[in-house]
């Protein structure tokens, strides 16, 4: 748990929202893009650092290797989930842009290098982001946190009069993931906004079941981890936005998650797994307002490729959302 320090009253009222609706800006988190890796500039215990934004994790984690350089030596209760051991620690302070908190309880874990070019000390998860409505504005290099007041029926895409809207999918832990429904070749499936995944991926078994054309990589790229099989769908719709002839990288997403959890006997999707990850390519091409307060996602297309097909395979350990999708009991 933590105590966050609210900004002074700086209410931004949407022009197309109900007159009683106010979006209270809690903080603006400045982003640094490392290719298709989303980083947030931060200050931990008074020392500058970066966190990787990982919306697939319901907890934030700091690298045990970084604790000493951040002046953090105290660890408390050890947590031992099935993946690996984690320790609870309490940071004296954590600043993410102009969002500031004291006595931040966070997990420390054995993460190695999280970026090739930046001092990334950990993962920023939904235990912090999910407490607020969240705007992802990668084009302008920021994530903005809001506390809406009186906005239950308001339209919250305040930056545009024309936007797409998608209902959030049911989730046993409603603020632990960002899940919505997609319609692929006419069939509705759950999708997850996965900022820890560089490019969007679709489960191969589902792609074939939907009759998608599967295009293998070129012969000369068969061993290239940046190239892999691609599925071409007739249509892919997210809320009001539809893409015809959408091409998506494919992989055996459920098997990867099962291997990670040591549960190879599972053969069907359950509440912990989704067959479509919307990665950083989707985030870069859209501006989104994730309204946990309404269980809706507002978004506008900002330009560029919606889905990239060349990028790291999901077998990479750096594709955090897909192989860990961490769900740890919070303290």
Query: DSSP letters along 249-261, please?
Result: EEE-HHHHHHHHH
**First-to-final CA distance of the chain:** 7
The predicted structure's pLDDT at residue 7: 53
Question: Which of the two residues, 216 and 262, has the higher pLDDT score?
Answer: 216
Reported confidence tier of residue 46, pLDDT bands at 50, 70, 90: very high
Domain range annotation of the chain = 3-134, 163-296+309-323
What CATH number is given for 3-134 in this structure? 2.40.70.10
The predicted structure's pLDDT at residue 47: 92
pLDDT tens-place string over residues 12-36? 444 444 568 999 999 999 999 999 9
Please identify which residue in the block is written with the tokens 């990239």: 308
Residues 6+ apart with CB under 8 A from 277: 191, 192, 194, 197, 200, 201, 202, 253, 314, 321, 322
Rg from Cα positions in the chain: 20
Global pTM value: 0.86
Reported confidence tier of residue 66, pLDDT bands at 50, 70, 90: confident
Identical topology for domains 3-134 and 163-296+309-323: yes
* pLDDT, mean of residues 106-125: 78
On the 0-12 / 13-18 / 19+ scale of CB atoms within 10 A, 217 is: middle
Reported confidence tier of residue 262, pLDDT bands at 50, 70, 90: very low
Average pLDDT of every residue of the chain:
82
Question: Which of the two residues, 188 and 67, has the higher pLDDT score?
Answer: 188
Lowest mean pLDDT, pick from 146-150, 255-259, 263-267, 318-322: 263-267
CATH class of segment(s) 163-296+309-323: mainly beta
Q: List the structure tokens of 311.
A: 């990028």
Reported confidence tier of residue 171, pLDDT bands at 50, 70, 90: confident
The predicted structure's pLDDT at residue 184: 97
230-237 contacts, C-beta under 8 A, 24 or more apart: 230/309, 231/202, 231/204, 231/207, 233/184, 233/185, 233/207, 234/185, 235/183, 235/184, 235/185, 235/186, 236/182, 236/183, 236/184, 237/182, 237/183
**pLDDT above 80 (res 207):** yes
**Nearest-angstrom CA–CA distance, 36 and 199:** 8
pLDDT tens-place string over residues 283-292? 999 999 999 9
pLDDT tens-place string over residues 67-102? 878 887 666 555 544 445 678 888 999 999 999 999
The predicted structure's pLDDT at residue 78: 52
């Amino acid at each position: 748990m933590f105590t966050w320090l609210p900004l002074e009253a700086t209410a931004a009222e949407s022009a197309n929202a109900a007159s009683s609706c106010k979006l209270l800006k809690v903080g603006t988190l400045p982003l640094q893009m490392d290719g298709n890796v989303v980083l947030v500039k931060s200050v931990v215990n008074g020392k500058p650092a970066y966190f990787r934004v990982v919306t697939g994790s319901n907890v934030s984690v700091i690298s045990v290797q970084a604790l000493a350089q951040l002046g953090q030596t105290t660890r408390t209760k050890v947590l031992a989930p099935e993946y690996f051991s984690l320790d609870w620690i309490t940071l004296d302070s954590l600043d993410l842009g102009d969002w500031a908190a004291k006595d931040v309880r966070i997990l420390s874990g054995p993460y190695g290098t999280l970026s090739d070019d930046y001092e990334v000390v950990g993962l920023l998860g939904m235990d912090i982001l999910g407490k607020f409505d969240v705007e992802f504005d990668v084009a302008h290099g920021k994530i903005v946190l809001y506390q809406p007041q009186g906005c239950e029926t308001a339209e919250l895409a305040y930056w545009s009069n024309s936007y797409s809207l998608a209902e959030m999918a049911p989730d046993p832990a409603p603020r632990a993931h960002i899940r919505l429904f997609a319609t692929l070749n006419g069939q509705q499936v759950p999708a997850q906004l996965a900022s820890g995944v560089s490019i969007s991926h679709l489960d191969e078994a589902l792609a074939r079941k939907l009759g998608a054309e599967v295009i293998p990589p070129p012969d000369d790229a068969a061993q290239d981890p940046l190239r892999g099989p691609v599925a071409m769908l007739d249509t892919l719709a997210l809320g009001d936005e539809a893409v015809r002839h959408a091409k998506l990288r494919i992989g055996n997403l459920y098997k990867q998650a099962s291997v990670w959890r040591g549960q190879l006997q599972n053969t069907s999707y359950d509440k912990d797994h989704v067959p479509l990850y919307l990665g950083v390519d989707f985030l870069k091409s859209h501006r989104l307002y994730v309204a946990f307060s309404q269980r809706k996602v507002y978004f506008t297309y900002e330009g560029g490729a919606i889905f990239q097909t060349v990028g790291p395979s999901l077998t990479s350990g750096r594709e955090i959302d897909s192989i860990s999708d961490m769900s740890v009991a919070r303290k």
